[in-house]
Structure 1
Amino acid sequence: MQSFEELTAPYRRELHLHCYRMLGSFTDADDLLQETLLAAWRGLPAFDERSSLRTWLYKIATNRCLNAIRDSKRRPPAEPLPPFDPPEPTSRGDVTWLQPYPDALLDDQLVKRENIELAFITALQRMPPRQAAALILVDVLDFSTPETAELLDTTPTAVKGALQRARASLHSPPPPRDTETERDVARRFAEAFAADDITTIKTLLTDDAWLAMPPAPHQYYGPPAIAAFLEASAGGRDSATLELEPAGANRLPAYRCYFVTGSDRRDTGHVVLTISDDRISSITRFLNPG
């Protein structure tokens, strides 16, 4: 058993990230990584080394993820009930299983921002799963088309077709970031958010900004709709105050949120920001299901 752990240890973190990209859920990635390692351990005696160990592990992980997506039919998690009466949402989101990925687990040398940003992960969830798998394997992990065909048990021609369709569905990559401006905007947002200063938050938003709250499907588009929701949310906390701690996620500015009442400090999830130039274009408020 020790030798198997030594063999697979160099690949576990990248396999976990691969499962996260495929599934959009940190929790599901944990489960699928364990399934992958168990399947690899059981299959190790039959591993014939026609491919590298890394390639073999990726084949197992990819197919386990595809099976999980197919078997679950992407059942959405239970919709949480807010402790206040929220305004009517602009729309209802379809990727309610999305979860953040902590920056602390990302390798700065290996993970590009555009390959882990929430917009990219969300786009992958909306693709047919085999298209998403082909895109990740070729464009993110740099497997060749023939290698990807082998991993997916298909033909290079089929992989090329899947890639073409997947790439066509993606939006433009994020613009170059100004980290100093980004930090300043995020700091100003955090201070205003904790103080329920909705007026200041509105000044920090782009005209087409949106707010989403996985696993709740509610989405609010535009500063007036976002402000209306934040005002209702602030009014539903009663005497609790809101505290934020920096906790980067998906290579984006992010904060861990706590409700504090006296000596009680309750973790309520994350808020993750996407910042364009000097304004916030999206707020994703990941609610703690606990």
Structure 2
Amino acid sequence: MTLATDDDVFSALVEPFRGELTAHCYRMLGSVHDAEDLVQETYLRAWRSYGKFEGRSSVRTWMYKIATNVCLTALDGRARRPMPTGLGQPASDPRGTLESRPEVTWLEPLPDRVVWGGSSDEPEATALHRESVRLAFVAALQHLTPPQRAAVVLFDVLALQASEVAELLDTSVAAVNSSLQRARAHLAKLDRESQERAPELDDARKRALLAEYVDAFERYDVPRIVALLSADVVWEMPPFTGWYTGAEEIGALIETNCPAERPGDQMLVEVSANGGPAFALYMRDPVDGVHRAFHLQVPTLGADGVTHVRVFFDPGLFARFGLPEELPAEHLARARALQQDGGVAPAE
């Protein structure tokens, strides 16, 4: 008979919380890389203090207190992670010059696989959890002070009582309530996608819209892409500082700046990010014909089509999503077929 060690007991108690703690740290920091590092630090601190844990709170609450303090320490003196729409500048000219600022620590997308194992078929109980890592919400959180972020996440996302939040943050209930009131008012102005959300699409319509979207991009059919966008769609793509609005304007942006020239030049591979669908785009190199990692798109869907597209021009993100640098072999046949048939859409 093998006796359980302290390591075994500790792991059994805390390991089930790794995914949700990663999501918690991501909401606070806006970076999956930082979130994973801070979760590791959380587990290290928890192990060191495990002998002093007296069970006056649940293990989950205890772990969240450690993780929150780790995040607040990490955020001390750091600049927030913005998206281009959060820089305070008006929409850009789609035919103008693109300005890139790779030195800015931009907001990053969250691969679902690091929180939920990559499954897209989660039970209803996780709906709020997925909603709480939407890019629009996380981007809005970045405009709050770190203590305000912590208060909002602990109270509104994790549904802790104000007294529990006060204890976790080592402050008073009155201070927590005051911080929440200010933070919620600020978030209401920033997270417009929550305030002005269109009716939810059913799953069949979502799948159909996404399939059309992928097909239009892979055929490099710009008029069809434009037709799938809502009239007031927003497009942004860090590290480029500009953002764009309007379906026709975004069509002009694609025609002016996209290096694709014909069907099959760009191929999309579906992944899951921030609780919803996302696409890794591979662009064909005109020199050697190899499709390589180009950017990652996270679209938001509405009743009138695609309402917001956040495009991340960071090929380094592909590895985070478990993707290779070159187009996976199972997609090559479709790329060749599109190139051979000229990308003509099949008859209805």
Is TM > 0.5 for Structure 1 vs Structure 2?
A: yes
| Matching residue of 1:177 | 200
Give the match's secondary structure for 2:110.
coil
User: Which residue does the alignment assign to 1:199?
Assistant: 223
Which shifted more, 125-134 or 213-222?
213-222
The residue type paired with residue 241 of structure 2 is P
**Pair member with larger Rg:** 2
Query: 1:123-161 deviations in whole A, cap 9, x for unaligned?
Result: 111122211211111111111000000111111111111
More deviation, 129-138/253-262: 253-262
RMSD across aligned positions (CA)? 2.9
Q: Provide the residue aligned with 1:55 in structure 2.
A: 61
2:154 paired residue number? 137
1:89: Cα distance to partner?
6.1
- Greater strand content: 1
TM-score (norm: length of structure 2): 0.72
Is there any run of 5+ residues in structure 2 with no aligned partner, and where? 1-6, 84-93, 117-121, 317-348
1:287: Cα distance to partner?
1.9
Deviation at 1:51, TM superposition (A): 1.6
**8 Å CA contact 2:293, 2:315 repeated in 1:** no
**Alignment partner, residue 112 of structure 2:** 103
Superposed CA deviations along residues 43-68 of structure 1, whole A, max 9, x for unmatched, are: 22222322221111101111111221
Q: Distance in 1 between matches of 2:215 and 2:80?
A: 36
For the structure 1 residues 76 and 273, does the alpha-carbon distance in structure 2 shift closer, same or farther, using more than 3 Å as the test?
Answer: closer
Deviation for aligned residue 1:6: 2.1
Structure 1 residues without counterparts, runs of 5 or longer: 78-84
- Is residue 2:134 matched to residue 1:117? yes
How far the C-alpha of 1:203 sits from its partner, in A, is 1.6
Counterpart residue type for residue 223 of structure 1? A
Deviation at 1:17, TM superposition (A): 0.8
2:12 corresponding residue in structure 1: 6
Higher mean alpha-carbon deviation, 181-190 vs 50-59, is at: 181-190
Report the CA distance between 1:243 and its aligned residue.
0.9
What is the 5 A alignment of 1:1-290? 1-74=7-80, 87-88=96-97, 97-104=106-113, 105-106=115-116, 108=123, 109-112=125-128, 113-168=130-185, 169-170=187-188, 171=192, 172-173=194-195, 174-178=197-201, 179-235=203-259, 241-261=265-285, 264-290=290-316
Per-residue CA distance 1:236-281 (angstroms, 9 max, x = gap): 7899821111112223331122123457342234211111113111
Alignment identity in percent? 41
In the alignment, the residues of structure 1 paired with residue 23 and residue 238 of structure 2 have an alpha-carbon distance, to the nearest angstrom, of 19
Separation in structure 2 between the aligned mates of residue 60 and residue 155 of structure 1, nearest angstrom: 18
* Higher RCO structure, 1 or 2 (CA under 8 Å, sep 6+): 1
